[in-house]
Amino acid sequence: MTFQWTAVATFLYAEIGVLLLLCLPFVSPVRWQKIFMIPLWNKIAIYWNKAFLTIIVLLIVLFLDAIREVKKYSAVHATEKVASVHQNAFDHIQMKLFRSQRNLYISGFSLFLWLVLRRTVTLITQLAKEMGIQVALELQVANTNEAAKKYLQENEILQQALNEKGKYKREQALEASNKKLRQEVQYLTEELKRASNALSKATNEVIAVKKQSEGLKREYDRLMKEHERLQDLLDEDEEEDKKDQ
């Protein structure tokens, strides 16, 4: 195996080892996030995108070269198999084909695992951020619940204080209203007494006026009778005078 394919195979084994470490169930994404936040990783992250693209390009080039080698030796293998060449030459061509196919698999899996590794690191980072946000939201919800409970307790205390204050004000208002009603009742009682006295006085005056009018009527009747009697006497005297003449 040449140096370049030895490097690619080593890179493939390293990718497999890193992916196995990232997939360990007892290491949480938050811990990986803390590891990724180490100052050394922060310095490497500056060149991460460039290195990623560079390795992608190299692996693609090696993958295409492996495809070319496979096609080349596959064609030669088929030709020599049909031509029935010497056994050693055929084995040599078959070995070349095997190596080219091995290189194809190594470069292909390296390229695939490199993309998977990039995606895995991205997902772990996003998951760690989401977990951090979830923890923050849980803390915020807990703080909000505590604050809500505190506000409810304070509201109940204020409500009780307002009820007591309102009860005291209602008692004062009721007492003032009762006092005002008593004063009005007293005033109306005095007014009723004065009206009763005035009514009694008016009744007495009416009775007196009625008695006086009855006396005047009797006197008028008496005077009328006296007037009639005198008129009768006057008429008799006139008749006697006429007879004497």
pLDDT along the chain (245 residues), means of 10: 81 88 79 72 72 87 86 66 54 76 87 88 82 82 84 81 72 80 85 83 79 79 80 74 65
130-160 burial, b at 16+ Cβ within 10 Å, e below that, comes to eeeeeeeeeeeeeeeeeeeeeeeeeeeeeee
pTM attached to this predicted model: 0.52
Distance of alpha carbon 243 from alpha carbon 200, whole angstroms: 64
Say how many C-beta atoms besides its own lie within 10 A of residue 13's C-beta: 12
Instruction: Please report the pLDDT score of residue 76 as a whole number.
Output: 62
Distance of alpha carbon 218 from alpha carbon 224, whole angstroms: 10
Residue pair 7/105 in contact by the 8 Å Cβ criterion: no
Distance of alpha carbon 191 from alpha carbon 60, whole angstroms: 117
Tokens representing 26? 């007892």
| Long-range Cβ pairs for the range 97-101 (8 Å, 24+) | 97/70, 97/73, 99/1, 99/69, 100/66, 100/69, 100/70, 100/72, 100/73, 101/70
Instruction: Please report the pLDDT score of residue 82 as a whole number.
Output: 47
Tokens representing 104? 């194809």
Residue pair 101/149 in contact by the 8 Å Cβ criterion: no
Ramachandran region, residue 24 (left: φ > 0; alpha: ψ -120 to 50; beta: rest): beta
Query: Which residue reads 């505590």 in tokens?
Result: 146
Tokens representing 175? 């007492």
Helix (H, G, I), strand (E, B) or coil at 47: coil
Distance of alpha carbon 214 from alpha carbon 208, whole angstroms: 10
Instruction: Please report the pLDDT score of residue 134 as a whole number.
Output: 82
At what angle are helices 87-244 and 29-36 packed, to 10 degrees?
Answer: 110
Identity of residue 18: V
> What is the enclosing helix (H) or strand (E) of 29?
helix 29-36
Distance of alpha carbon 110 from alpha carbon 116, whole angstroms: 10
Residue pair 15/114 in contact by the 8 Å Cβ criterion: yes
Distance of alpha carbon 68 from alpha carbon 78, whole angstroms: 15
